[in-house]
Amino acid sequence: MKHYELHAIAQHLQQFTHISRARRIENNTIELSFDRTHSYFFHMTRGESFVYKSDSVRPLQGYKAPFDTLLHSLVAASKIVAISVPPHDRILRLSLAPKSSYKDQLIHLQFEFTGRHTNAILLDENEMIIEALRHIDADSSFRVIRPGVELQPIPPLTRHEEHQVIEDIDSYLTQKYRDFEAKRIRGLKKQKLLMVAKKEQKLQKLLDKLPNPQTLAKEEQRYQMLANIVLANLYHIKPYDSKLITHDFEGNPITIDLPKGVVPNRMSEYFFNQAKKRRAKAKNVHIEEENLRTKRNFYGNMYHAIEQAKSSQELELLLPKRAKSQRKKEKIKECELFWIDDYKVLIGRNSKENQALLKLAKSNDLWMHIRDIPSSHLIIKTDKQNLPESVIQKAAKLCVDFSLKQAGDYEVDYCKRRFVKIQEGSSVEYDKYKTIRVRKEGIEIRE
């Protein structure tokens, strides 16, 4: 950020008396709520750090690092003592009196918008580091950022910035957010649409490779004929023969390639087995085609939902990052795997996977399905008696988004898995359920 921007922000924030909430909402973004009603966000990513103003939103995941714990205990509900910007550095410093302190205490929350030094640092009144958003060791920089270490000043750097007057800082910071969000949505959509398109293309290739039932029927007849000819000519076949030259049952000359490693008295059995395989494949190819087609349609619905998404939060819900190492390794063949606020969510991509999900789920897991409409079954893995309402809402949205493309209002029923009784295939009866109404713009719950 520019120095004049930070000055305007500091001057504006001095009108507030306390910080009611302090939390991290993304890996590098911190939300501070001033006097309960005004939320400002500090985006501390190296190379694109800035402050913006927006409505408060629930984080997609909870952060429990030491920095987040101290941010909550020291900064939340603290009284603002001073807000300043050093003369020659792009630093915004908030001097605060924590509510949790049993005696008079002063701490500083320092936001550094300084390129590779970009950071958010909690300091005590003696300039000792309490905790920081990102730690820096001595082998990476002369300026060590670690708890218990005295904070060294950033080397002075001469900058030539044109000073500008910002008439309405709130409108200015709101526009910064809009520009940033629009750019982020474009980038996320491009990335996520490419991922989903690859999955669709892979399934389409498998569909294209499926054998034609008519072709399989012809191959079955041919192998059946070859088996009978070989059976009728067994006495002509020597153990070392690679071909059988004879006549078919209509008197036409025919040359049959014999399989390697098969003794003569098993030759006909080999060809009968080939015919049997073609018959079984022809019988079941439509089942495989249905499985692949419905999986492809699932990703088509996902692609459409991503195209229609209007916020980065919605995009992250539709196709979240797997940030934790254990999540990267975990894959489940029977369904699509998602994470909502650290809860594992499984979604069936077709009827076969819906059946598999019902068998995988434990009695206390939460089951979801769109009422009166063929849709994906969804399972939230949990041992808890009650799930957070936000998790249920997000899961219901996923259930609708990945089952349908049509806009409208939909009712999603949900209950514990133990109250779901399998009827036939993936058809079920269920009891002791609640219903959540899902729309693009709102969700309401009724018993």
The predicted-structure confidence for 74-119, as pLDDT tens digits, reads as follows 999 999 999 999 887 899 999 999 986 656 789 999 999 988 889 9
| Higher pLDDT among residues 419 and 164, named by residue | 419
Indicate the pLDDT class of residue 51, thresholds 50, 70 and 90. Answer: very high
pLDDT of residue 158: 66
Torsion angle of C-alpha atoms 296, 205, 322, 339, degrees rounded to 10: 20
Q: How far apart are CA 108 and CA 74, in angstroms?
A: 10
Q: How far apart are CA 191 and CA 315, in angstroms?
A: 11
| Higher pLDDT among residues 12 and 159, named by residue | 12
Check if the beta carbon of residue 379 is closer than 8 Å to that of residue 367.
yes
Both tokens assigned to 57: 């939103």
pLDDT of residue 444: 43
User: 22, exposed or middle or buried, with CB in 10 Å at 0-12, 13-18, 19+?
Assistant: buried
User: 346, exposed or middle or buried, with CB in 10 Å at 0-12, 13-18, 19+?
Assistant: buried
What's the whole-number average pLDDT of the chain? 88
Ramachandran class of 346: left when φ > 0, alpha when ψ lies in -120 to 50, beta otherwise: beta
CB atoms under 10 Å from CB of 191, counted, come to 12
Both tokens assigned to 438: 């899902």
**Which range is least confidently modeled, 291-295, 385-389, 411-415?**
385-389
pLDDT of residue 315: 87
Q: Tell me: pLDDT of 254 over 80.
A: yes
pTM of the shown model: 0.71
The predicted-structure confidence for 174-220, as pLDDT tens digits, reads as follows 999 999 999 999 999 999 999 999 999 999 999 999 989 899 999 99
pLDDT of residue 338: 86
Question: What is the average pLDDT across 294-315?
Answer: 90
Give the CA distances from residue 265 to residues 25, 209, 233, 260, 350, in Å, rounded to whole numbers and listed in that order.
Answer: 73, 35, 10, 13, 46
pLDDT of residue 446: 43
Both tokens assigned to 419: 């109250």
